[in-house]
């Protein structure tokens, strides 16, 4: 007597699971303790097939109770061990099985990850208690493991699913860097929605501008929910009052649920991961559509160039609502499994040494900042602030997101070299939201490389001629490296012709990280694309395949035939004593009826005396003449807060220009109470519109339930009196059609000609709503027998009318009883009944087709009858699963040509099921959730919902 091999048993189960789920996602990490129902999705018929294969494989006969009692492969192994073996497998076959299984296990891991959810799921399986994030907050450290992020996000997702949001809705997140942010972001993803990161208001005096700016974002994103913190709720309410689409505001505490949720929705690679709204430095913010595939391509490419690994430590103060902090720091760390040490931007700005101390303390190898962050460390920190700091671990110091100033690179390298920083660690990079985040990166260890070119030649012709030492004031441009692997960059002239090396032109790009466009903004999307290339809006030139950024197209000022680059003059003005560094905008503008454009310098100073301000103006004028050969036409010095910036600290030159033209520069901002009052008055009309919409929806829902109750009473009485069979069916169908007319629900059916004219057949469909069976009764001309859960048959009010309509009952929880119920359905089919199966076996709120249960297809093959597929559209939008709030809508039903398989075997049933399901997927135009749902079950990320719909 031989002992059954665990490997061989798992291989048999794996093969069956592979047949049931051809995409193979369900077979990752199958163990002896995997649940046959929970993890592998084996229904009663699949269990029967498994037992048949085991008996054949081992030459034994297993007790019938195994069908019901076995819950895991370990249980099956126990029963097999107690049975007599009549034959043993050859060594070759066993080695083959082990090899197959090892290949299956090697397939798991982040290497093949296609979404953010898959990445986190991998780490939850492989290293659940490992540190993912160290959050530095208020002098304390909070550590977040992968398991904690997963568990807390599930709690948020559970509550989100209860809010009755439309599938694929956007959810705005206005939170600071905190645990709540991390949990909320993944909670939104887990619930099947699209996160929209926003930044909280920075100062009370800017509330009006903050509301005005964010209401455009939320309206464009059509976000029905805003997640924020308690302190920001008053501002959030102002937003809600002015944006009709925003229905609800909640804090994370209000979103937490005690019990993790089941989440059958699992994003696909091409699903939207989140919307990254541009900082708006040159106009209104636009929502960049970024899919999971875009993010994965960008993260992999950046990591490949940087040689990222799990041994790295990323230290970041970058805001999580900005692509550099969100994708580069957090998602990059998540993908490679390295530790992320993160603090809030305010913590850094208040004390810049905290950033460098965190790098020193945690051994940070990667970190990033816009240029102003490095400049802040230079200007604010003294040696006494840096005592004990060691920066030797810092191997790549990324500098991007705004113009990189050559002088900042030189001074930072010199200043901090004595603290262990290698000058070769400095890594200027180039990226933009339209390419996820990164587009051009240098190789590690090259340091900052600066190209010095002749100013006059470059200003007149755009040719970057290397400068000689005797030239007066040459221009300097920083090298940002080469395009990321798989990405392409080209430089073109105004006619779209590609330019040779060292000629300035518009930078265009393409690659797998590139967005498909701006969310609900077709006009701006058309401007973005030039054929297959995307226009960055930036100017640059190429040398030896490397990119040198020179400025923004919209910011270049043409004066006397020369190009003037605003950021160069802004940097010089910022060094003038009395001027606030980083608070200068240089732009060209027309004022009033003047025909010529004026060169305007707008800057900030805390000085108030007229003599002091005149000295500053004189110094700015002298600097402009030295640098540009011409003085500014107007110099405006305002108090702090005059120069407008984006949330990431970029100068909003276009907005400053508009402010100058409007004549509002220098005006004192209204008091906070005045801004609040003005915003409140502007909220009256949107609030009335929202109230009317809610009242209308509530009245309509109440009216629908009244009509349903009225029709239900008539149906119950009529079905008691009419004879069983077609008369009952015709009567019920008439009442359903009247119900649809009364409630304004449209129903259509196509493909009636595909119903077989004679003979037995059965029908299968997808399952979207509790309304499916009701509305099908109104459109199908011939009586069918819906296969429903046995609980309905135990309802004394419903049992008799449903029985007269020919409903079949199936027990969902007792496997042995389920097999007996299947036998009664087969008997009914042989006697002329037409069973109707909702093949998914359950319904869900989210769009997508779940795996099909095998019952209908095994029955069709055994009885040799055709299967008639029916595709249901629209009922989910009328009445969603888990909701009792009906909405207006249109439902349609499409009958496809019948399908049949001449074989009677299990494999024939599998083939029939796969063929029918594929036909329905083509018609349905919804995601295929077959593999993803089973994968999530197996990864212990979801739990099956209770089936509130019909079951086969």
pLDDT higher at 713 or 401: 713
Q: Could you give phi then psi for residue 355, rounded to 5 degrees?
A: -65, -50
Provide mean pLDDT across the span 116-143. Answer: 91
Q: How confident is the model at residue 109 (pLDDT cuts 50, 70, 90)?
A: very low
The C-alpha atoms of residue 249 and residue 246 are separated, in whole angstroms, by 8
Q: How confident is the model at residue 624 (pLDDT cuts 50, 70, 90)?
A: confident
pLDDT value at residue 776: 94
- The radius of gyration computed from the CA coordinates of the chain, to the nearest angstrom, equals 33
Per-residue pLDDT reduced to its tens digit, 821-878: 888 888 888 888 999 999 988 877 667 788 888 888 999 999 999 999 999 999 988 9
Judged against a pLDDT cut of 70, whether residue 948 lies above it is answered with no
pLDDT value at residue 299: 94
Judged against a pLDDT cut of 60, whether residue 208 lies above it is answered with no
Helix (H, G, I), strand (E, B) or coil at 447: coil
The C-alpha atoms of residue 711 and residue 735 are separated, in whole angstroms, by 7
pLDDT value at residue 133: 96
Helix (H, G, I), strand (E, B) or coil at 41: coil
CA 97 to chain centre: 38
Return the H-helix or E-strand segment holding 511: none
Look at the block and give the residue holding tokens 């990189």. 404
Give 256's contacts (C-beta < 8 A, 6+ positions apart).
Answer: 152, 155, 156, 159
Any idea what the Cα angle at residue 304 is, between residues 298 and 309, rounded to 5°?
Answer: 105
pLDDT value at residue 56: 79
pLDDT value at residue 896: 94
pLDDT value at residue 101: 35
* Cβ-contact 660, 624 below 8 angstroms: no
Judged against a pLDDT cut of 60, whether residue 451 lies above it is answered with yes
pLDDT value at residue 475: 86
Per-residue pLDDT reduced to its tens digit, 26-55: 455 677 777 776 667 676 677 777 877 887
Sheet holding 248-251, edge to edge: 194-198, 170-174, 225-228, 248-251
pLDDT value at residue 642: 80
Q: How confident is the model at residue 944 (pLDDT cuts 50, 70, 90)?
A: very low
Give 382's contacts (C-beta < 8 A, 6+ positions apart).
Answer: none
Per the rule left: phi > 0, alpha: psi between -120 and 50, beta: everything else, 488 is beta
Q: Report the CATH number of the 6-108 domain.
A: 1.10.1200.10
* Cβ-contact 731, 718 below 8 angstroms: yes
pLDDT value at residue 945: 41
Each domain of the chain, given as residue ranges in start order, spans 6-108, 566-682, 745-938
pLDDT value at residue 593: 52
pLDDT value at residue 49: 77
Look at the block and give the residue holding tokens 């040779």. 500
DSSP 820: H
CA 119 to chain centre: 13
CB-based burial of residue 568 (10 Å sphere; 0-12 exposed, 13-18 middle, 19+ buried)?
A: buried
Helix (H, G, I), strand (E, B) or coil at 70: coil
Per-residue pLDDT reduced to its tens digit, 335-350: 999 999 999 988 898 8
What is the DSSP pairing of strand 366-369 with strand 313-316?
A: parallel
Q: Which of 31-45, 172-186, 688-702 has the lowest mean pLDDT?
A: 31-45
Judged against a pLDDT cut of 70, whether residue 281 lies above it is answered with no
Average pLDDT, the chain: 82
In 87-106, which positions are buried (b, 16+ CB within 10 angstroms) versus exposed (e)?
Answer: eebeeeeeeebeeebeebee
The C-alpha atoms of residue 767 and residue 852 are separated, in whole angstroms, by 11
What is the DSSP pairing of strand 440-441 with strand 482-483?
A: antiparallel
pLDDT value at residue 562: 60
Per-residue pLDDT reduced to its tens digit, 757-796: 888 999 999 998 989 999 999 999 989 999 988 777 777 8
Q: How confident is the model at residue 478 (pLDDT cuts 50, 70, 90)?
A: very high
What percentage of the chain exceeds 70 in pLDDT?
82
CA quadruple 322, 323, 324, 326: dihedral sign: positive
Q: Which of 121-135, 277-291, 727-741 has the lowest mean pLDDT?
A: 277-291
Judged against a pLDDT cut of 50, whether residue 728 lies above it is answered with yes
* CATH number for domain 745-938, candidates 2.40.50.140, 3.40.1130.10, 3.20.20.70, 3.40.50.9100: 3.40.1130.10
Judged against a pLDDT cut of 60, whether residue 142 lies above it is answered with yes
CA quadruple 61, 67, 73, 75: dihedral sign: negative
CB-based burial of residue 181 (10 Å sphere; 0-12 exposed, 13-18 middle, 19+ buried)?
A: buried
Cα atoms in the Cβ-side hemisphere of radius 13 Å centred on 174? 29
pLDDT value at residue 559: 61
The C-alpha atoms of residue 717 and residue 203 are separated, in whole angstroms, by 67
* Cβ-contact 465, 453 below 8 angstroms: yes
The C-alpha atoms of residue 549 and residue 724 are separated, in whole angstroms, by 80
Judged against a pLDDT cut of 60, whether residue 99 lies above it is answered with no
Judged against a pLDDT cut of 50, whether residue 25 lies above it is answered with no
pLDDT value at residue 86: 35
Q: What is 566-682's CATH superfamily?
A: ANL, C-terminal domain (3.30.300.30)
Judged against a pLDDT cut of 50, whether residue 88 lies above it is answered with no
pTM of the model: 0.68
pLDDT value at residue 594: 53
DSSP string, 552-602: EGGG-EEETTEEE-HHHHHHHHHTSTTEEEEEEEEEEE--TT--S-EEEEE
Per-residue pLDDT reduced to its tens digit, 51-69: 778 877 777 777 766 766 6
């Amino acid at each position: 007597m031989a002992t059954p091999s665990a490997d061989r048993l798992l291989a048999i189960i794996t093969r069956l699971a592979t047949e049931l789920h051809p995409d193979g996602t369900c077979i990752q990490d199958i163990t002896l303790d995997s649940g046959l129902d929970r993890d592998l999705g084996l229904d009663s018929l699949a269990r029967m097939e498994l037992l048949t294969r085991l008996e054949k494989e081992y030459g034994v006969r297993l007790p019938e109770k195994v069908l019901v009692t076995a819950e895991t492969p370990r249980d099956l192994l126990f029963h097999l061990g107690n049975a007599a073996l009549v034959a043993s497998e050859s060594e070759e076959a066993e080695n083959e099985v082990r090899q197959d299984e090892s290949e299956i296990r090697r397939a798991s891991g982040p290497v093949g990850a296609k979404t953010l959810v898959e990445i986190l799921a991998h780490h939850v399986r492989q290293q659940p208690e490992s540190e993912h994030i160290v959050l530095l907050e208020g002098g304390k450290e909070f550590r977040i493991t992968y398991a904690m992020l997963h568990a807390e996000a599930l709690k948020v997702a559970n509550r989100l699913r209860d809010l009755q949001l439309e599938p694929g809705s956007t959810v705005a997140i206005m939170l600071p860097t905190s645990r709540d942010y991390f949990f909320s972001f993944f909670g939104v993803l887990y619930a099947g929605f699209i996160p929209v990161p926003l930044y909280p208001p920075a100062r009370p005096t800017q509330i009006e501008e903050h509301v005005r700016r964010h209401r455009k974002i939320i309206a464009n994103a059509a976000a029905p929910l805003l997640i924020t913190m308690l302190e920001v709720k008053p501002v959030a309410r102002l937003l809600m009052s002015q944006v009709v689409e925003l229905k609800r505001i909640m804090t994370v505490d209000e979103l937490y649920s005690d019990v993790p949720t089941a989440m059958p929705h699992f994003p696909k690679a091409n699903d939207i991961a989140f919307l990254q709204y541009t900082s708006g430095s040159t106009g209104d913010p636009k929502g960049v559509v970024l899919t999971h595939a875009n993010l994965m391509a960008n993260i992999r490419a950046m990591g490949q160039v940087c040689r990222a690994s799990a041994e790295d430590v990323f230290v970041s103060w970058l805001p999580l609502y900005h692509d550099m902090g969100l994708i580069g720091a957090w998602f990059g760390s998540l993908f490679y499994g390295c530790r992320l040490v993160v603090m809030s931007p305010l913590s850094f700005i208040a004390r810049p040494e905290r950033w460098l101390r965190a790098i020193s303390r945690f051994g940070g190898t990667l970190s990033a900042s816009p240029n102003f962050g490095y400049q802040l460390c230079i200007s604010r920190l003294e040696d006494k602030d840096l005592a004990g700091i060691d920066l030797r671990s810092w191997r790549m110091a990324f500098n991007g997101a705004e113009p990189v100033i050559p002088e900042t690179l030189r001074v930072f390298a010199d200043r901090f070299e004595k603290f262990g920083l290698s000058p070769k660690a400095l890594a200027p990079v180039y990226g933009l939201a339209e390419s996820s985040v990164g587009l051009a990166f240098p190789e590690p260890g090259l340091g900052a490389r600066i190209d010095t070119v002749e100013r006059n030649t470059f200003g007149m012709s755009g040719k970057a001629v290397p400068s000689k030492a005797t030239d007066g004031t040459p221009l300097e441009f920083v090298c940002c490296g080469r395009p990321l692997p798989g990405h392409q960059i080209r430089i073109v002239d105004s006619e779209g012709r590609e330019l040779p090396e060292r000629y300035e032109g518009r930078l265009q790009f393409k690659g797998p990280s590139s967005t498909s466009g701006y969310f609900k903004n077709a006009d701006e999307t058309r401007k973005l694309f030039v054929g297959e290339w995307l226009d960055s809006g930036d100017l640059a030139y190429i040398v030896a395949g490397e990119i040198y950024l020179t400025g923004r197209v919209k910011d270049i000022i043409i004066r006397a035939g020369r190009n003037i680059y605003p950021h160069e003059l802004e940097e010089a003005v910022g060094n003038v004593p009395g001027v606030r560094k980083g608070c200068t905008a240089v732009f060209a503008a027309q004022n009033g009826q003047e025909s010529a454009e004026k060169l305007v310098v707008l800057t900030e100073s805390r000085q108030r005396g007229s003599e002091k301000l005149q000295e500053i103006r004189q110094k700015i004028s002298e600097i402009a003449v030295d640098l540009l050969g011409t003085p500014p036409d107007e110099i405006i010095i305002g108090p702090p807060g005059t120069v407008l910036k984006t949330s990431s600290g970029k100068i909003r030159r276009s907005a400053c220009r508009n402010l100058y033209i409007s004549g509002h520069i220098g005006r004192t901002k209204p008091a906070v109470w005045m801004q609040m009052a003005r915003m409140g008055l502007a909220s009256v009309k949107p609030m009335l519109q929202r109230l009317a919409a809610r009242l209308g929806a509530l009245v309509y829902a109440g009216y629908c339930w009244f009509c349903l109750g009225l029709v239900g009473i008539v149906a119950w009485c009529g079905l008691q009196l009419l004879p069983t069979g077609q008369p009952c069916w015709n009567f019920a169908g008439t009442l359903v059609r009247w119900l649809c007319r009364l409630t304004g629900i449209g129903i259509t059916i196509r493909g009636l000609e595909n119903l077989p004219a004679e003979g037995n057949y059965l029908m299968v469909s997808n399952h979207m709503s509790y309304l499916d069976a009701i509305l099908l009764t109104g459109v199908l001309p011939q009586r069918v027998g819906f296969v429903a859960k046995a609980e309905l048959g135990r309802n004394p009010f419903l049992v008799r009318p449903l029985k007269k309509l020919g409903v079949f009952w199936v027990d969902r929880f007792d496997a042995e009883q389920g097999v007996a119920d299947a036998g009664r359905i087969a008997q009914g089919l042989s006697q002329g009944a037409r069973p109707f199966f909702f093949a998914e076996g359950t319904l869900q709120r989210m769009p997508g087709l779940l795996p099909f249960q095998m019952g209908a297809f095994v029955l069709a093959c055994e009885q040799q009858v055709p299967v008639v597929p029916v595709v249901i559209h629209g009922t989910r939008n009328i009445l969603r699963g888990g909701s009792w709030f009906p909405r207006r809508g249109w439902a349609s039903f499409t009958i496809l040509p019948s399908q049949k398989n001449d074989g009677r075997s299990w494999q024939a049933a599998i083939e029939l099921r796969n063929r029918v399901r594929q036909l329905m997927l083509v018609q349905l135009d919804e995601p295929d959730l077959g593999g993803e749902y089973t994968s999530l079950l197996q990864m212990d990320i979801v739990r099956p919902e209770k089936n509130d719909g019909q079951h086969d």
